[in-house]
Structure formats: structure tokens, C-alpha cells
Amino acid sequence: MFSYASTLGGSKFLRIFELYLKGGGMPQPPKNTKDFSALLEVVKALRGPDGCPWDKEQEHSTLTRYAIEEAFELSEAIDQDDTPALIEELGDLLFQVALHAEIARQEERFAIEEVIEGICEKMIRRHPHVFSDVKVSGTTEVIANWSQIKAAEKAAKAAGGAAGAGGGSDSTAPNSPPSDPVLFDIPQALPALLRAHKIGEKTERLNFDWPHVSAVMEKVDEELAELKQALAQESPERQAQELGDLLFSLAQLARHLKVDPEQSLRQTNQRFERRFHRARQLAAQQQLNWMDLSEEQLESLWQQAKLSE
């Protein structure tokens, strides 16, 4: 009778069998999953020779959408004040960081330690009122110092890049016009409403802003009037432009009111969805066919849904 054990030798066969019982050459999960190093072990295993086919195929570019999605899911958990969800979504976002770092390590570009070192040094550098003897009077001064330090960092990077390229331009001086037509260092992939808010923050620091809320409100009224004119002219192109102008102005109004427009709109979306679902429930309870209801009946159900809250 053929014996697989005899072809290998007794001791070698026993060793292979022992490995088989322990999981063979398969990656073993870390014992202490509360330690940060455990996450790195998991990610390395997923990207390893015996890892997950999907994880091994990923690149920085293919993972971009997931980082954005996880950030939005984290935002939703915060909005809902859901502690278990907050823990989970923070973990999902942290996994994205670890996965990107592991891809870079495999490509011999950088390691997770460099990511940690970079953010630690940046936070220390931008908080001299915490880690040095700089004195601040409050949050406003902290933000002003942060902006100045950040601008100095970018100027140093630009100067270093120019020197490396053999250039000597002094276009990074505070009062000189930017050489790059893209003035604001704000990611294009940000939601448009949030990006409009951040553009306003940038221009405010550059002394280009409305002096008070009432002036912004006048601008909102002006843009609304122009949108109405565009609607009367039945010009789709101008209607889209004027609607964009109105939305931008509303984002600046939110900034002056110290309101996060993105969060405000998310909350409104949630409130609308909740009330709409309730109105549909009320219609069903009254044995009404939703699709056959008149405007007056729909409005009545909507008001009932609002009152039920």
C-alpha cells in the first residue's frame, strides 16, 4: 500500500502534519487584537502570498473611493451620536490608512512609521502654544498661528522644489501674487458645499470677505433675484450658473453664522427622509394610495408627519 509518510520520512511527515493541524503555512491571526501592531499584522497577511485576492489587487488609486466613503460613514456615526458605530467607522478609516501604508511598504516607497512620524512632527510644529513657550489668547489666535505656520511650510517646500529644479523664484512672498492660477490648496474631490465653505475661509484670511452677516444676506437676496430672472428667461445654462452662485452665497452665509453647511444639509436630509417615511406610513394607515393623492392630501400628510415628531 502506498504510504505518503514513507516518501517523506517519518519525522518530516510528522512536522508537516503538525503544521497542518496548526493551520499549515496559512497566516495566523494576532493574539492581542487591541494592539496597533495587530492591525499591521492583519494588513500584511491580507496583502501577503496567502492573503486575500481582492486586497492583493488594490492600489492607492483603486482605494481612493473607499477612503472617501469611510470618512462619510464616520461623519454619519458622529451625527447620529452612535458610539458603537463611531468605534466601527474609526476602525474602518484606520484600516484604510494601514492598507495604504502597507502598499507603499511593499513598493519600497515609505512605511507606516514615516506616516506616524510625519503627523506627530506636524502637530508639534503647528502647536507651539502647547509644545513651546508661545502664548495665545484663544481659538482665534490659534487658527491664525496655524495658518501662518502652514503657509511658511508650503513656502519652504516651494522654495526647496524651485532650488532642486535650478530656479530661484520668490513668488511665495506673502504679498506677491501666486504664480499658480490654482490659488486655493483645497482638494477638488471635497463635496462642493464643503469646498465652497473652505474657499470662503481662505478669502477671509486674505482680507476678501463681507464685513457682517447682513451683507452676506443681501448677496443671497441678490443671487436669488438673478436666479428668478434666469428662470423667467428659460435659459438652462444661466439657470445652472445662477443656482450655483446662490448655493455658494448660502455656504458663505453659513460660515458667517458659524454653521457647518455640510452638516446642516446632512441633518436636513435626514429630517426630510424621516418625515417622508412617516407620511408614507400615515397614508398606509389611512388606506390611501400614495400615487393617487392630490397636492392638498400630500401636504396634509406631510404636516401630520412633522407634528408627529
DSSP assignment letter at 290: G
Q: Are 176 and 185 in contact (CB under 8 A)?
A: no
Query: Which carries the bigger pLDDT value, residue 33 or residue 190?
Result: 33
- pLDDT value for 25: 61
Query: Which carries the bigger pLDDT value, residue 148 or residue 95?
Result: 95
Q: Above pLDDT 90, what percent of the chain?
A: 64
Which own/partner pairs from 112-121 qualify as long-range (CB within 8 Å, at least 24 positions apart)?
Answer: 112/40
Using only C-alpha atoms, the chain has a radius of gyration, in whole angstroms, of: 29
The CATH code for residues 37-152 is 1.10.287.1080
Model confidence pLDDT, tens digit, residues 219-269: 999 999 999 999 999 889 999 999 999 999 999 999 999 999 988 998 899
The domain locations on the chain are 1-30, 37-152, 192-308
Model confidence pLDDT, tens digit, residues 20-64: 444 446 788 998 999 999 999 999 999 999 999 999 999 999 998
pTM of the shown model: 0.64
- 37-152 and 192-308 share one fold: yes
Q: How confident is the model at residue 3 (pLDDT cuts 50, 70, 90)?
A: very low
Q: Which CATH class is domain 192-308?
A: mainly alpha
Model confidence pLDDT, tens digit, residues 256-275: 999 999 889 988 998 999 99
Q: Are 95 and 76 in contact (CB under 8 A)?
A: no
Q: Which of 191, 184, 247 lies closest to 219 in space, CA to CA?
A: 247
Residue type for 124, please? I
- pLDDT value for 15: 53
Q: Are 71 and 93 in contact (CB under 8 A)?
A: yes
